[in-house]
Amino acid sequence: MYRFVDDTFIIWPHGRNTVADFLDHINGIHPDIQFTMEVEKNAVLPFLDVLVERKPDGTLRHRVYRKPTQTDIYLNAESHHHPAQKQGIINTLIHRARIIGEPGHLAEELEHLRTALRGNGYTARNIERAIRRRHTPMVKQE
């Protein structure tokens, strides 16, 4: 059985001058396992679907990240797929916005999703219903 490490996020507290030595060290452990490294530029670093930004106080904030090549083309609402699959597109994008983005960025992200989903044929009614449903706080069962 093989395991693959793919995309690792590390906060290196030892200064930029030592991180290259660490990269050389871990790449020297096994010839078939090689890491590459990206460092923040202008205090931001895209990582998977997340744009991580270092604030002046050193803490991090985050929001949804889209690659420059992102087209916002999703499964069209008029396609001949099961309605649950099409609803799943809406639900997944809204869920992603809520778990990745900080509250201060949520309104902007939801507006982006409204525009993108309407462009893919989804009705404002279905989009808003999903947003309301996903915004309902979970009630803890006792």
What is residue 6's predicted lDDT score, i.e. its pLDDT?
83
Helix (H) or strand (E) holding 45, with range, is: strand 44-47
In terms of Cβ atoms closer than 10 Å to its own Cβ (0-12, 13-18, 19+), residue 62 is middle
pLDDT at 132 > cutoff 50: yes
Q: What is the pLDDT of residues 78-113, one digit of tens each?
A: 999 999 999 999 999 999 999 998 999 999 999 999
Residues in the chain: 142
What is residue 139's predicted lDDT score, i.e. its pLDDT?
47
Q: What is the pLDDT of residues 1-20, one digit of tens each?
A: 777 778 889 989 998 889 99
The percent of residues above 90 in pLDDT, for the chain, comes to: 77
pLDDT at 72 > cutoff 50: yes
What's the pLDDT band for 135 if we cut at 50, 70, 90? low
Instruction: For residue 110, give every residue at least 6 positions away whose Cβ sits within 8 Å of its Cβ, in sequence order, or none.
Output: 94, 97, 131
